[in-house]
Amino acid sequence: MSASNINNTLVSEIAEAAEALKEAAQEKASKSEFLKKSRLKKTPSLKPEQPEQTNEEARSIQRQIAISNNLHQIAELERLMKQHNDTIATYENLKTFKFNTGNEGGAYTSIEIKDMDRKSFQTSNQRLAQTLVECLTKILEDKIKELEEQILEVRIL
């Protein structure tokens, strides 16, 4: 299993665990609210209700929700970091591309683009190949900056 598959699996598992924790906290909160309402309908008991216990339950629920939210944020951060690292690797790979300067004899530059249907476009035109690489480099630089901004926006409490 590749590193990206393991990373995707971990992100998915963290997101699922966070969602399950959030649902459990919400279910507990709704049960607690139901119990409060049902207590109000009953004949008052001789023992006074203990508000500290209710506050404790509320804090516990809030804590579970906070943990769930943090797990969601961590999963999002991991996803962004993986995308950022993949984009940087592609960018670095593209920067190593060398063009024929005319002194290499018979060596020439060629670029081929294939789509999902295996349709392809290929060119040996030096200027077109260099322009395509420059455009792709610019796009990747912009994407890296965008991902860095998104990473900085992730807040974990």
Where would I find the H helices in 42-125?
51-95
pLDDT at position 151: 93
pLDDT band at 75 (very low <50, low <70, confident <90, very high): very high
9-57 pLDDT, tens digit per residue, is 666 666 676 677 677 767 766 666 655 555 555 555 555 555 556 788 8
Instruction: Tell whether the model's pLDDT for residue 58 goes beyond 70.
Output: yes
* Mean of pLDDT over the chain: 79
Place of tokens 């990473």: 151
pLDDT at position 40: 52
Residues of the chain with pLDDT > 70: what percent? Answer: 66
Burial class, 69, CB count within 10 angstroms (exposed 0-12 / middle 13-18 / buried 19+): middle
Instruction: Tell whether the model's pLDDT for residue 81 goes beyond 80.
Output: yes
Measured distance CA(30)–CA(43) in Å, rounded: 22
Measured distance CA(123)–CA(111) in Å, rounded: 5
Which tokens is 16 given?
């699922």
Burial class, 71, CB count within 10 angstroms (exposed 0-12 / middle 13-18 / buried 19+): buried
pLDDT band at 116 (very low <50, low <70, confident <90, very high): very high
